[in-house]
């Protein structure tokens, strides 16, 4: 039986863990953003992608018609494109440049926070499991990449600091 073409609302995601990279299609309905899908589905411990490719996890396979990935193993989720928030749901936010240690990667990027919130309150207020970071640079021993937008799993952040006080690399 031939594989079915994904619907038009399929979004291509790159999932990066500490020792694997999976790229495939996330199927979702309506106008929901990837960040909303991930943060609203915290009751689902796995993210399922179709038409996926896998790097790492030797012996598991590389071309997978469908793969389920445990979200607690993810460091980053990178959508090829993200839908803008609905106008009526937008909240005024302030962009703040941050440096993060996520797994073994250093990430410099803009986090979007409610105005006048302290870093301590922002990181400890809970809520979203995946935090959007824009204009991001990911640097690791075997990878360096720039992304217009990525989602960082909150519990994978080992340290973060406002970039204006970060020491040079």
**Residue 125 belongs to a domain:** yes
pLDDT for res 4: 39
Where do the H-state alpha helices sit in the chain?
Answer: 34-40, 119-124
**pLDDT band, residue 97 (cuts 50/70/90):** very high
Strands of 105-113's sheet, edge to edge? 63-70, 46-56, 20-26, 11-17, 74-79, 144-153, 130-139, 105-113, 94-102, 157-162
Q: Give the domain extent around 31.
A: 11-79
**Residue 1 belongs to a domain:** no
Lowest-pLDDT range, 31-35, 118-122, 134-138?
A: 31-35
**CATH number for the domain that contains residue 101:** 2.30.30.100
- Shared domain check, 94 and 60: no
- What is the pTM for the complete model shown? 0.80
**Residue 169 belongs to a domain:** no
- Shared domain check, 100 and 70: no
- Shared domain check, 98 and 69: no
- Shared domain check, 97 and 62: no
């Amino acid at each position: 039986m031939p594989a079915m073409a994904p619907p038009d609302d399929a979004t291509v995601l790159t999932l990066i863990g500490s020792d694997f990279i999976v790229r495939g299609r996330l199927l979702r309905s309506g106008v929901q953003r990837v960040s909303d899908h991930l943060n609203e589905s915290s009751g689902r411990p796995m993210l399922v992608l179709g038409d996926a490719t896998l790097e790492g996890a030797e012996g598991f396979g590389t071309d997978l018609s469908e793969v389920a990935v445990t979200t607690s193993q993810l460091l980053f989720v990178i959508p090829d494109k993200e839908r803008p928030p609905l106008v009526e749901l937008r909240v005024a936010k302030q962009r703040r440049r941050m440096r993060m240690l996520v797994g073994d990667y250093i990430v410099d990027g803009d986090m979007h926070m409610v105005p006048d919130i302290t870093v301590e309150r922002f990181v400890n207020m809970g809520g979203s499991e995946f935090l959007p970071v824009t204009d991001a640079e990911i640097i690791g021993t075997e990878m360096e990449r720039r992304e217009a937008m990525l989602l960082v799993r909150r519990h994978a952040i080992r340290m973060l600091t406002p970039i204006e006080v970060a020491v040079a690399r």
